[in-house]
A and B are shown apart, each in its own frame.
Chain A
Amino acid sequence: MMEQMPVFVRIAEPLDVRESIGLLRKKLTETEQLLNDLNSLMAEESAKIDEWKSNFHSINDKISNITNTLIAPERI
C-alpha cells in the first residue's frame, strides 16, 4: 500500500529546473539531427569510395589494353 501512495517532493528552484529540462530537450533534438547528418555523410562517403574504386579498375583496364598494344607490336 505504501508503494501506491503518491510521493511529494519539494523542488527548491522549479523555474531553473524547468528551463534546464526545456534546454535539454532542445539539445537532444539537435543531437539527433547531428547524428542523422553524420549517418548521411558516412553513407555518401562510402558511395564515393565505391565509385572511386570502380573508376580505378576501369583506368587499370584501359592502361593494360594500351600497354599491350604498344608493347606487343605486329611484325612487319
Chain B
Amino acid sequence: MTGKKKAKNKKAPESKGEFFVAINNPSSINQSLLETRKSVLESMKLFQDIKEIRNQKILKKDKLRAQVRQISSLLGKIKSGLPHVNISPESKEAVEQAPQKQHEELPKEKPQPKPQTELDRIETELAEVEHKLSSLS
C-alpha cells in the first residue's frame, strides 16, 4: 500500500486535470452569463453605430470642404467683378480722423510680402478686410 495517498477533504475524487466547483446558485450564474453576453452584443452594436456615425462625419466634412472651396471661388469672382476703389489721400485723412469706435484693438497691419501657404494667404486677406472694416466704422 502506497502511503502517499492522503484524502484531505471529503470532496469528489480528482481525476486528471478536472476540478469540480460547487455553485450554490447556478441559476444566478446562468443569468449573469446571459446578461454579460447581452451586454457584449449591445457593445458590438454600439461600436457599429459609432463606426457609421464616423463615416457620416467624414462625408459631411468632405462636403463642407467642397462648399468652402466653392464659396472661396465665388468670392474671388465677385471681387473681380467689382471695381477697385482708390481712396484719395484727403478723404483717407478725413476717415482716419473720424472718431473710432473701439470694439476691438485693430492694429494697422501691413500685408505680408509673400504668403507661403493657403492659410497664410487667407489670414492676410482677412487682416486686410478687417482693416478696411475698421477704417470705415
Which A residues are closer than 8 A to B by beta carbons? 2-3, 7, 9-13, 16-17, 20-21, 23-24, 27-28, 30-31, 34-35, 37-38, 41-42, 44-45, 48-49, 51-52, 55-56, 58-59, 62-63, 65-66, 69-70, 73-76
Contacts and interface: CB of A to CB of B under 8 A. Distances in A.
B1 interface: no
Nearest to B23: A69
Contacts of B47: 52
Given A9-B85, A24-B74, A65-B32, A34 B64 contact: yes
Given A31-B64, A34-B64, A76-B11, A51 B46 contact: yes
Interface of B: 9-11, 21-24, 29, 32-33, 35-36, 39-40, 42-43, 46-47, 49-50, 53-54, 56-57, 60-61, 63-64, 67-68, 70-71, 74-75, 77-78, 81-83, 85, 90-91, 94-95, 98
Contacts of B74: 20, 23-24, 27
Contact of A9 (B56, B70, B83): B83
B95 A3 contact: yes
A52 B47 CA distance: 8
Contacts of B83: 9-12
Given A24-B71, A74-B24, A55 B35 contact: no
A9 B74 CA distance: 20
B60 A34 contact: yes
Contacts of A7: 85
Nearest to B78: A20
A11 B78 CA distance: 11
